[in-house]
Structure 1
C-alpha cells in the first residue's frame, strides 16, 4: 500500500535523526569513557604520590631496631625472601586499606610490602615509570631515587568497565525513553508543515473547465509556491486554448450562418424557376450560388487564420527576413489578375535584409490580409513596402477614400462592420491585431498618408530589428 508523504517524511526524518543520535551517543560514550579513564589515571597518580612516604614510614615502624629506612628496607628484603612480603596496616589517609592495591618493591623487583587486598606475587609489569595494563589491572609505577624503591598502585579493570557500562546503559535508556517522543514530534511537525501540500492539492482538484482561477500561493513555502505558479501558468495557457476553441466555434456559427442560408436560398430559387419555366437552372442564379460558396470558403479561411493567431506560440519564433517575406507574398498576389498591375512591392536593396524575431507564417497572414483588404476596397494602386531598421516596418498603402478616426477604431474590433464596400467580414483586422500583439509590434493606421491626398496606410512596426546579416543569437 502506498505511503502518504507525511508517513514517508516521518520515517525518513526519524531514521536520519535516530542514526545521528546513535552516532552521537557512541561519540559521547567514547568521550565520557576517555574522560573517566583519564580521571582514574590522575587519581591513581595522586594516590601513588600520597602513599609513597606513608609506606616508607610503615617500613621504619615495622623495624624500629634499624637506625635508618635504608637499613629497614635491607632487613625487610631478607625477611621477605624467607617469609614473603609484609602486609602493611592501614595507611594514613587511605580510608579503606582493603581496597587499595599497593606493592612496595626494591630495585630487584622483590615485593617488600603490600596491602591486604594486593596479591603477594609481583604485578606482571616492568619496573619502569608510568602506566601498564595487565589482564586484570591498570598499574602505575613510581620510583623513589632516594630510597631506591618502586611503589606500584593498581586499579582493577573490572571496576572501570562497570563504570563505563553504567554510563552507556544510561545513555541508551535516555534514547529509548526519548524515541517515542521523537517519533510523535517528527510526525506532528511533518503533518503540520505538509498541510500546505494538501491545501495546494485541494485547490488543483477543484479546478475544471468552468473554474480556471489562479491558485492561491500566498504564505506557502518557496518550493510549493513555485509549483503553484507553474500550475497557474498552465491554467492560463489552458484558459487561452479554451477561449480560442470557444471563440472559433462562436465565430464559425456567426460567420457561416449567413453564407449558408444564402447558398440555400439561391439554389432553391434556381430550382423553383426551373420548375416554373420548364427549363434548365438559370445561369445567373448558379453563378450567384457559386459566389456565395466562394464567400463561405473565404470566411472559413479567415476563421482558421484567427484560430492560429490566437493560439500562436512563441516557441515557433525565429529570425524572419521581411524583404524576402514581402517578395514571396507579393508573388502570390501577382498570380491573380486583379493584382498584377495594381500591386507594387518596394523593398530596400536586395543585399540589405531586414531581420525581425517572429513567426513567419503569422507575419505572412498579416500581409495577405492587409493586401487583400486594400485590393478589395480600392480600385487604385496598392503599395507593399518594407522599411529597414531602426524603424523596421511592413507597410501596406492604398489609394482609396480612406477611413475616419472612428472607423479606424471600429475595424479593429471583431465582427465590426460598416459599409461592405469598405469593411470586410469583421475578422481581417482583428487577425492582424492579434498577430501584431503576439509579436510585440505596433499596428498603426494613417488616413490619409503623409504626402498623399487620400488613401489608408497600415504599418506594422517592430521594436527589435536589424539590417544586414542574419543574427546568430536568439531573439529578444
Structure 2
C-alpha cells in the first residue's frame, strides 16, 4: 500500500509546478510577441535601408562614364555584413553591389516588395520608372539568433525562480499549516488511555469542524468507557462480599456433610465460587488498568518493587521463581507501584499456571528497564500467540483460567507508554513462553 502524500508536500509541489507552467506559458507567449515585433523591426530596417541606398545608387550610376558596368562598393573596414544588396537594371544586370554580396542568394529577376527564401529575407524597390532595382538580403539565421537570445533571456530567470519558488512555497505552506501539524502531533503523541479533548488554536476553517467532531467523538467514547469501567468495578466490588459469605457457608457445609455425594457436590461448588472470586478480582484489576492513574508523579525504582513482589509471592505460594536483577543499584521508570504490582502478578500467575510444573519461572530485569518473564513448557502456536492479549482468550493448555491476565498486562503496558512482546518458543530455546516488557528508562 502506498504511503499517503502529505498536504504540505502536495501544496508545495503543486503550487511550484503551477507557477512554473504559468511562467513557461507566459514566456512562450512573450517570445511569440517578441518574435513578431523583431520581424517587423527587421523588415522596417530592410525597407528603410533600401530607400536610403537607392537614391544614392541612382546618383552614383548616373554620374559614371560607363553606367552599365558593375561596381563593388568598398568597405571602410572589415566587418560581418548582415545586410547585402544588389542594384540591377530591368534586365537583371548587376550595376552595383555591396562588397560581401552573393548574387546567387537573390532572385533571378529583380522585383519589388518582400520575399522569403529558405535562408534569406529579401526586400526590393525600384526607381526611374522601374529601370533600376535594389534588393537587400538579410540572413534568417540572424533573426533566429535574435529570437533565440530573447527566449533565453526570458527562460534563464526561471532556473533561479524554480528553487526559490519551491523554498518560498514550502515555507509559506509550512507556516500556514503550523496549527494543522501541531494538531497531528497532538494526535500522534496521545496515549491509548487519554481521551481528553484536543485543543489546538487557530486551525484552518476546513479542519476546525473535523477537530470538533473528533473531540465530540472522544467525549462520547470516554463516557462510554467510563460507564463500562464503572459497571465492571462496581459489579466486581459488590460481588466480593456475597461471594465471600457464600464461600464460607459452602466450606462449612462441606465440613459438616458426611462422606459421599453431598460433600463432593459441595467441593465442586466451592471451586466454582473460588473461580468466580478470582474472576471478580481480575475484573477489578482490568477496571483499574483501564481507568488511568498508571503513571507516578516521580520516577520509581523498579528493582526493589520487583524484589518485594517476588519475595511476597514466595512467602504466599511457595512456588519457585528465579529472579535476576541488573548489576546497577537502580532502574527508574514512570509506572505507578500498584500498577507495576498488578502487571507483575498477572505475568507470574500466567507463567506458573501454563508453564511446566517441574521447571521454575524466570523473572529478570535489565539495566535498560526490560522486564522478562519466561516459563518452560510446550510452544504456543503462532495463531494462538497473536491473540493471547485479547480478553477471555486462553491458550491450548487444560489449566483453568479467565483469559484476562495478559489482557490486563497489555492494558497497563499501553497506559504507561511501554511495549510488550510475546515469544514462543522463548528466545534461545526450543520450547517455552516469554513475555518481554520494555519500560521507558528514566534518570533517577
* TM class by smaller structure: 0.3 to 0.5
TM-score by length of 2: 0.47
TM-score by length of 1: 0.44
Q: Relative contact order: is structure 1 or structure 2 higher (C-alpha 8 Å, sep ≥ 6)? A: 2
Larger Rg: 1
